Copies of this chain bind each other. A is one copy, B any other.
Amino acid sequence: MSLAVTSTGDTYMPLLESELLRWVGSGDSLLELACLDALFPPGKLLRPVLCVESAKAVGGTTDQVLAFAAGIECLHVASLVHDDIVDQDPVRRGRASTAEQYGLSEALVAGDGLSMAGIAALLSGGPAEHVLHAARITVEALRHMCQGLMRETQIRGDLTCSVPTVLNIMQAKTAALTGAACQAGAILAGATPQQHQALRQYGEQLGMAFQIRDDLLPYIAEDQVTGKTATSDVANLQPTLPVLLAHEAADEADRNRLSALFRGGTDPVTAHRDILAVLTRTGALAKAARMASSCAEQARAELTGLPDSPQLAELATAAADRQR
């Protein structure tokens, strides 16, 4: 993976995977089986890595946050399982999505089960006051995530919804949880308020970089590389950041072209190709890439007052540069 976790997480990655297994069970029931299938093989494990590295950055240990970090991953994957129902995405991480593999009802319940396994993990250990504080922050982020998902369904097909709206949705859908993962890890490790606030800001900026990059990937990477269908956003008429940047910068002809494509009815592959042409012509791809880099830079700036953590600095850089 491109997030360079190999250099940061070699020692605790297997621990993290065992911990995930511990929280979802051994596959004895259909519920456990579907949850295991959604979790394994794992993705980038970005959120748990952020949680562990944030704890370590303020002098904590992997042990102090391992269960919490695994819980955050369960909650993140639960949201992906439900997301793939909402977007009718048949592919996730290069494999059949849970809904595709088990059916819609089963995927819905699996997402709920994974989510509750995640909450159980969050609450499982450590000093009660710290655990509650970290859990409250994480649950608040998950509520923002739901707000973001709902707003996303509302702007389908709407190219006039504006760049700030889409940035707000990214903040709610992605950055809130990456921020919480960092802040929670720091709290569990006994950080000062100043430290865990700075790490939250770091995590949010990193999340923005990550998500801005994510919206770019369908236009710069191959299906096999991203592990999901490049045409999913287009098929769902979901206006993403690069599309809105292009719409802002486009001349009348290109704007009309985009509008026509986002009224639906065009075959997604054709639509995707036509959008890509407009994105390139208007410089929207380059502009979005610059926005991702700028967020990564802000993330790194948040680390200034903290003990040196090359891992966190590297993760921010990688988030803005990732190719998948």
Contact = CB atoms under 8 A, between A and B. Distances in A.
B117 A143 contact: yes
A96 interface: no
Interface in A110-139: 110-113, 115-117, 119-120, 123-124, 128-129, 131-132, 135-136, 139
A208 interface: no
Interface of A: 29-31, 34, 79, 82, 85-86, 104-106, 108-113, 115-117, 119-120, 123-124, 128-129, 131-132, 135-136, 139-140, 142-143, 146-147, 149-151, 153-154
Closest 4 CB pairs of A and B: A113-B146, A128-B128, A31-B150, A86-B105
Nearest to A149: B109
20 contacts: A30-B151, A31-B147, A85-B105, A85-B108, A86-B105, A106-B153, A108-B108, A109-B149, A110-B150, A112-B146, A113-B143, A115-B115, A116-B139, A116-B143, A116-B146, A119-B139, A119-B142, A120-B140, A120-B143, A128-B131
Contact of A153 (B82, B105, B112): B105
B120 A136 contact: yes
B123 A139 contact: yes
A151 B86 contact: no
A150 B128 CA distance: 32
Given A128-B128, A139-B119, A146-B113, A29 B108 contact: no
A124 B135 CA distance: 10
A192 to B, nearest CB: 19
A297 to B, nearest CB: 32
Given A109-B146, A136-B120, A143-B120, A29 B151 contact: yes
B105 A123 contact: no
Contacts of A142: 116, 119
A136 B120 CA distance: 6
Given A132-B128, A132-B131, A109 B153 contact: yes
Contact of A123 (B108, B124, B135, B151): B135
B31 A113 contact: no
Contacts of A34: 150
A30 B150 contact: yes
Contacts of A140: 120
B105 A147 contact: no
Contacts of A108: 82, 85-86, 108
